[in-house]
Amino acid sequence: MPYLAVLLTVLGLATLVFVVALALRWWRDPVSPRLEGILLSAVANFFDALGIGSFAPSTAYLKIRRLTPDVLIPSTMIVGYTIATVTEAFVYITSVAVDPMLLASCIAASGLGAVLGVALAPQLPVRAIQTTIGVGLLIAAVLYSLANLSIFPGGGTASSLPPSGFLLLATASFMLGILTNLGIGSFAPTLILVSLLGMDPRAAFPIMMGSAALIFVASGTAIVRTRPLNMGLVAGMAIGGAPAVLLAAFLIKSLPLGALRWGVVAVVAYAAVLMLRSAARARASSGHTAPTPSTNTNIIAGDPR
């Protein structure tokens, strides 16, 4: 319990700093929250709380509607969705049984990876990583489907892991934290790895949401203080997310375990297809030019997020 108390206290204090920074920014530029932002956030964060992610659909919507310049879309989503993401973290951390030491270690590893990844991101080959993870997710989805059919060992109801599994999940969390700087989400990989290691799929949600919340709060506070934002849109997004998260969390906790396991397969397969499509589009747009390292140094979590 001390681990959870410390974790929630740190996250709560960091969120308070973010909220104060956001309020001061709004005070300097007071505008009414946009209804469109409220509705977008409600829909996107409902699916985010189910583990599907919010960044891909939100990015598409913001681009189609031209609600903010493309260069500001990541910053807008991070600031607009921080409160919803923190809500997800608090709900799942306090309501889903997970080994506290495992939870704290994975969240800390993810946060450390995200920070160190800022310097590493420009040197990493984005397309190759997207392709590798996409193929890996498809293979994992097939294996987990076989496990659900009792053809392949896997699946379980555990809330903790033996030392080898503990180390594997913490290391994976660190690596996924680095990859958030490339806009590569951690939700699907975490969800499938936790499931294949024999844990209850629900155990992935405190880990995923806690890691995302830590990264979002740190990034969101810096963005609010230093970058231009459409405050009407951001305010609407900040308001609309939390109620939708609470509804989705209720659904997750009430779903039968069998249905949830097949839901994991669907989410992971969806994420794999999106990632492979992104890699293919990037490869096609680059033509025959040599691959270039990433220039994205934004800390982005979730799809993602």
What mean pLDDT is predicted for residues 209-231? Answer: 89
Question: 297 pLDDT band (50/70/90 cuts)?
Answer: very low
Q: Where are the domains of the chain?
A: 2-286
Residue 5, pLDDT > 90, answer no
Task: List the structure tokens of 184.
Answer: 């590569």
CA distance linking residue 226 with residue 208, whole number of Å:
27
pLDDT for position 286: 65
Among residues 206, 103, 107, 197, the alpha carbon closest in space to that of 157 is found at 197
Task: List the structure tokens of 141.
Answer: 């989805």
Say if residue 69 is exposed, middle or buried (CB neighbours under 10 Å; 0-12, 13-18, 19+). exposed
Provide the H-helix boundaries in 29-99.
35-49, 55-65, 73-95
Coil, strand or helix at 135: helix
Using only C-alpha atoms, the chain has a radius of gyration, in whole angstroms, of 18
More reliable by pLDDT, 20 or 131: 20
What average pLDDT is seen over the chain?
83
What mean pLDDT is predicted for residues 4-19? Answer: 91
Answer whether 301's CB lies under 8 Å from 215's CB: yes
Buried b (16+ CB within 10 A) or exposed e, 146-174: ebbeeeeebbbebeebeeebbeebbebbb
Give residue-wise pLDDT tens across range 191-210. Answer: 888 988 989 888 889 998 99
Question: 115 pLDDT band (50/70/90 cuts)?
Answer: confident
> What separation in angstroms does the CA of 299 have from each of 14, 87, 93, 223, 229?
16, 19, 22, 11, 17
Question: 301 pLDDT band (50/70/90 cuts)?
Answer: very low
Task: List the structure tokens of 7.
Answer: 């974790």
Give residue-wise pLDDT tens across range 131-186. Answer: 887 887 788 788 778 777 776 666 678 889 999 999 999 999 999 888 877 767 78
pLDDT for position 70: 83
More reliable by pLDDT, 166 or 4: 166
- Side-chain-side CA neighbours of 187 within 13 Å: the count stands at 35
What mean pLDDT is predicted for residues 117-141? Answer: 78
Residue 62, pLDDT > 80, answer yes
The answer to which of 147-156, 217-226, 248-257 has the lowest mean pLDDT is 147-156
Answer whether 266's CB lies under 8 Å from 65's CB: no
Coil, strand or helix at 158: strand
CA distance linking residue 273 with residue 78, whole number of Å:
24
Question: 121 pLDDT band (50/70/90 cuts)?
Answer: low
CA distance linking residue 65 with residue 39, whole number of Å:
13
| Length of the chain measured in residues | 305
> Torsions phi, psi of 158, nearest 5?
-70, 150
> What separation in angstroms does the CA of 207 have from each of 30, 80, 110, 157?
35, 21, 9, 16
Q: How much of the chain, in percent, has pLDDT values that exceed 70?
A: 90
Residue with tokens 């607009």: 80
What is the longest distance spanned by two Cα atoms in the chain? 60
The answer to which of 42-46, 88-92, 136-140 has the lowest mean pLDDT is 136-140
Among residues 106, 114, 100, the alpha carbon closest in space to that of 168 is found at 106
Answer whether 79's CB lies under 8 Å from 216's CB: no
